[in-house]
Structure 1
């Protein structure tokens, strides 16, 4: 945790102050977040974001609901992965981002500038958004609400800042069952890969430096502090309705893709960075995409709670 740039006192306090832990962790992650999660702003990620957004949207999309959306806010935007790729996909026009982490807000604004456009970014607590009522046509989020202490309060804020009839789409949240099997798969993969890579036949090429492994372990420990929730899809929908949303629906993704994706990604972290080349990256991404197509079929018959990712959508009631 030394690499966060925080003082020892702040680090110690973060274990008891979750808001501070969120800021410290995500400021730290902002330095390498895009590389860690293979985030880019090109056809590959734009396609993933467009497909994920539309998958959740179609759960309750109205026949008269036209694209693109005008003014959009990304909640807990991180480096802008979701909103910026939505803009590149032509699904939104004017982008605003908010995040509790100043480092993430700056990273998102820098990414937008590199893409050739400007965005508004604010450091903001999702439970107390610094925007007027009825400000946005669309609010989006990706892998964000599981970090927020009071999810229902955040959803009330989302509904408040939407214009009447406006929509929110939040995707990429962990289900309770999915989180359980992902955690166990990842742990088994990490232990196996780190041990095998240190055996004499593999050590020179595959073993990652111990300092890097220790850093990853510290990151995983702090990640457990900032990851606050997992969700049952039906209960998540109920939270959105209690927050005041209409036309609420959920959509899930990644079943077989999660069983392959988590060990693949964990293996990448556990071995030396230069041990894997372009061929591996092509295999990993191609396997995930193929299994996502399988999961689209399984989604017709398998209950939502067994998938890894859940998304929720809804609208602000018309007055």
Structure 2
């Protein structure tokens, strides 16, 4: 069966229909974003993001069970998590899957450019198109909150895992974290787009058509972002699907409080204004605040306050042969 082609230019009628169909909304939104997604989120496939991906993976899954011979990324987007884990030596052979044909296309192109052994399929997270017991590892980054039935997706993940295989999902918004991140983002957008109307700062204002497009994207983003999570609830769902050795951990409190305003500001101003000096400042600030979160705040604050939740677990059965 041939995968559907990307549709980066949805009609007004399709967009209108998407407001009542979160899966269609996800396809349209992510097909639209696929070509610029890596730039928008400062995604790269160099040491910076390799280190980030492997650190996140090890923070929740540990380091004992690697490299994994085969792995699938659910909701891979452009391949950020899987491809960087492969470059970091965590995975040997990979498969990318996403509901968006455009994202699968970009992920496969990224893998080819990096010389990595990767195949890909357009896939619904509630009905994964692979046989039982296919993979040693299933990963995902910022995907579960887009899937209508997360518990069904956990059951599918366990089905395609080999006995003893592991899953690792990261980058999911907590209920409290999503609340303050959205409020900070909305405030920053309002301030930036209004202050740059002033004459002396007009050079910092993006063209109106680009701002309108970003606003439409944000409106559709509200449809595709279906869930926020309580860490305990997410653990219960994974256990209920049949997983064992389930553990959820959280990260980014101070880093999120600074990171969301910075990301929103960057989306609201012309890209040429974001110099290398600015990008280095933003990156090193994030690093320092992430270190504060890990070394201090994670030891004194409830895990529910942090922005990201990560979860891991395994499929019952014999250990994975590595």
The normalised TM-score by structure 2 is 0.94
1:68 and 2:67 aligned: yes
What's the CA shift string for 1:39-72, capped at 9, x where partnerless?
11000110110111111113xx7xxx43111100
Root mean square deviation of aligned Cα: 1.2
Whether the 8 Å contact between 1:71 and 1:93 is mirrored in structure 2 is yes
Q: 1:310: which partner in 2?
A: 309
C-alpha separation in 2, matches of 1:82 and 1:96 = 12
C-alpha separation in 2, matches of 1:135 and 1:56 = 23
Stretches of structure 2 lacking an aligned partner (at least 5 in a row): 1-6
1:256 and 2:248 aligned: no
C-alpha separation in 2, matches of 1:316 and 1:242 = 12
Whether the 8 Å contact between 2:98 and 2:121 is mirrored in structure 1 is yes
- Could you say what secondary structure the match of 1:299 adopts? helix
- Could you say what secondary structure the match of 1:182 adopts? helix
Q: 1:190: which partner in 2?
A: 189
- Could you say what secondary structure the match of 2:301 adopts? coil
C-alpha separation in 1, matches of 2:156 and 2:60 = 20
- Could you say what secondary structure the match of 2:313 adopts? strand
- Could you say what secondary structure the match of 2:199 adopts? coil
1:135 and 2:118 aligned: no
Q: After TM superposition, give the deviation of residue 117 of structure 1 in Å.
A: 2.6
- Could you say what secondary structure the match of 1:201 adopts? helix
1:166 and 2:162 aligned: no
Equivalences for 1:208-247 in 2 at 5 Å? 208-247=206-245
1:107 and 2:106 aligned: yes
From 258, 275, 278, give the equivalent of 1:277. 275
Q: 2:61: which partner in 1?
A: 57
User: Which portions of structure 1, spanning 4 or more consecutive aligned residues, are displaced by more than 4 angstroms?
Assistant: none
Q: 1:14: which partner in 2?
A: 18
C-alpha separation in 2, matches of 1:286 and 1:246 = 37
- Could you say what secondary structure the match of 1:4 adopts? coil
Q: 2:81: which partner in 1?
A: 82
Whether the 8 Å contact between 1:109 and 1:118 is mirrored in structure 2 is no
How many residues are aligned here? Answer: 311
What's the CA shift string for 1:97-120, capped at 9, x where partnerless?
111111111110000010013411
Q: 1:149: which partner in 2?
A: 148
The normalised TM-score by structure 1 is 0.95
